[in-house]
Amino acid sequence: MPDTNLCLEALSALSGCNVEPTSGPSQLTPQDFVNIVALKEFYKQEGYKELEYPSLGTLSLQDIGDEDLYSSPPALTEGPGPEESLRTTVKINPQDFFHPQYDYDFTNIKDGNKKFLRGNEQYVRPCGWNRVALRVMQRYDSGDDWLGMGKDAWPVSYHGHNMDGSLGVILIHGGSPDNDQFLDAAAASLVAGETRGRGVYSTPDIKMAEKYCKSFKSKVDGKTYKVVLQNRINPEKRKKCQREDIWLVYVPEGRNDVQVRAIVQESIRPYGLLLKQA
């Protein structure tokens, strides 16, 4: 497993919070993290400025002063900078958040023409990345089959931080994705120039996720890293967009915050934090 402090920095970059270690109970689970990362983008595209999240309170949806990637990293002895002091602080216990037994370093692996499946769908492995496993086994009432390799497993998707409806015209536009008018709505969206769809976006293509991923300069070693979340996505909840490399978890109009979080949890579950030196 990479340095624990480096992993906490990666979580901080993804969530927009200051993530710090604790020996006590974690304030957030891995599922909470994917909820926050995904919902930050969803609520931003809906025009909101803040996200209310249980146990944390109010989180700003604006990226507060992205660091200059070419500046020298602050010394480890320095206190938080002015931007960091404005962020919500989150305490997690690395022992119950990470699962080193299932870490896998893909940094020097090249799959070539090899094919892999998860849930009977192609799994494009994150070659070139180092995966830090998240502790998600036995955390869901439905069991762990979603995380396996059999027919009941969920396909793999990647979330690259800035992924939202601006990625392309979708086949679901307004109303329910199950009604008979969604193709007409898609055609109308082309005419109107509308490219946004209500929901949470991810991709089965790690290269696509990398284009939209978050980068940060580590205070641990001074190097710059890219970070992506590796998830499993519920095939019954996922909707394919016009672009084959973009998947949408649709959020219908009129859902409150609790219902929106429930939709995300039923649809996207994280199991890996991917790191790659930029």
Pick the more confident residue, 108 or 196. Answer: 108
Residue 167 pLDDT level (bands cut at 50, 70, 90): low
**Whether pLDDT at 271 is above 80:** yes
Report the pLDDT value the prediction gives residue 193, as an integer from 0 to 100.
43
Report the pLDDT value the prediction gives residue 190, as an integer from 0 to 100.
45
**Cα 97 to Cα 75: distance, rounded to the nearest angstrom:** 27
Short-list 34, 20, 8, CA closest to 267: 34
Asked if 168 and 243 count as a contact pair (C-beta separation under 8 A), the reply is yes
**Cα 102 to Cα 87: distance, rounded to the nearest angstrom:** 31
User: Domain ranges in the chain?
Assistant: 4-161+209-234+256-277
Predicted model pTM: 0.83
Pick the more confident residue, 62 or 15. Answer: 15
Report the pLDDT value the prediction gives residue 234, as an integer from 0 to 100.
95
Percent of the chain with pLDDT over 70: 78
Asked if 35 and 259 count as a contact pair (C-beta separation under 8 A), the reply is no
- Mean pLDDT over each residue of the chain, to the nearest integer: 82
Percent of the chain with pLDDT over 90: 52
**What distances in angstroms separate CA 113 from CA 105, 116, 124, one per listed residue?**
19, 10, 11
Asked if 220 and 175 count as a contact pair (C-beta separation under 8 A), the reply is no
**Cα 87 to Cα 78: distance, rounded to the nearest angstrom:** 17
What's the token pair of residue 10?
């990666």
Asked if 85 and 18 count as a contact pair (C-beta separation under 8 A), the reply is no
